[in-house]
Amino acid sequence: MSDQEVINKPAVISVFNDVEQAIAKFEEANEKLVFDLTTTKGMKEARSHIYTMRKAKGMAGTIKDEKKADLLAECKVIQDDYNKIIAKLDSMIVVQMAPIKVIEDAEAERLAKIAEEKRLEEEEAERLRLVEIEQQRVEAAEILAEANRIKEAIEEKAKEKADKLAREREKFEAEKKAEQDAKDREAKAKEEAEAKAVKDAADLAAKVEQDKKDAEAKAAKEKQDALDEQKRIADRKAKEIADKYQKEQADKDEAAKVEAARVADEEHRAKINNEIHKSLLDASFGDEVARQVTQALVDNEIKHVTINY
């Protein structure tokens, strides 16, 4: 609330003094009056009292309307005077602002020209930037195409090598199967030889027994010596056959293990070398340089760098 409002408020409210006095009397009476609304008299007295308060309310409305009309007329006079004063001041301000506006317009035009020049410079800079971006995009596309070509060539070589290793593996498996078949045949031959040896030993024993019967005249010691000699010969022959088979089997098994280890090592080394070559390509080395560096690493020609297979 402004200072002017605080100063003028008592003067405005003072028009309601009569109503305020009546309200004070009503408040005092309301605290004391008790109406018996169960009787006609009490009901009449209550209605009369309410009617009196409503009359005071009507009086307040009449005072408000009259005072408001007076104030509105006064406000209109004040507003007219205010408009005249403002019009005079505005006309004087326009005269004084005319030369200032000329200067301000010239300055605004100068700033607009500078802004336009800056906008044109920025547009040219943006155009040049977009041209450079397009050039970079074209160069990147060419580099990507070359990288894809190199990648395809590497993948083709890798596929050829993988096919070669697959053929070698198939050959190795076939040779291994052939060796196993030979082992199976040798085992079967050994079993047949052992069976034959047993049969021969049995036949020999039978023959010895028959000879013993036929040669009752010979001494018991000579018969036993002959039997022992025959048994030693049979045992030695069977042992020689078993030892020879075991040695051949061990030699073939060892050769197969060595060959399998060689092929696995060659495949592992080839995989590591391909990964090194790919890493060099990913690091933006050319294909030829990547191959030369990879080969140099394989040949241990780069000091302090060793491939960990």
Q: Is 277 exposed, middle or buried (0-12, 13-18, 19+ CB in 10 A)?
A: buried
Beta-carbon contacts of 67 under 8 Å, excluding residues fewer than 6 positions away, are 12, 15
Q: Which of 237, 244, 130, 138 is nearest to 194 (CA)?
A: 237
d(CA 43, CA 207): 160
pLDDT value of residue 243: 84
d(CA 200, CA 193): 10
Length of the chain: 309
DSSP state of 14: G
d(CA 156, CA 298): 21
Q: What's the angle, vertex CA 79, arms to CA 75 and CA 81, rounded to 5?
A: 120
Beta-carbon contacts of 262 under 8 Å, excluding residues fewer than 6 positions away, are none
d(CA 184, CA 103): 116
pLDDT value of residue 14: 64
Phi, psi of 305 (to 5 degrees): -125, 125
Beta-carbon contacts of 35 under 8 Å, excluding residues fewer than 6 positions away, are 42, 43, 45, 46, 49
Q: Which of 78, 29, 80 is nearest to 52 (CA)?
A: 29
d(CA 297, CA 305): 7
Using alpha carbons, list the distances in angstroms from residue 162 to 115, 168, 197, 261, 309: 67, 10, 51, 17, 19
pTM over 0.85: no
Q: Is 7 exposed, middle or buried (0-12, 13-18, 19+ CB in 10 A)?
A: exposed
pLDDT value of residue 220: 65
Q: Kindly tell me the sign of the dihedral angle through the C-alpha atoms of 257, 259, 260, 264.
A: positive
d(CA 146, CA 288): 13
pLDDT value of residue 278: 92
List alpha helices for the chain, DSSP H: 3-13, 17-32, 40-214, 220-282, 287-298
- Two tokens, residue 294: 């990879």
Spans in the chain with pLDDT lower than 70: 1-14, 95, 217-220, 223
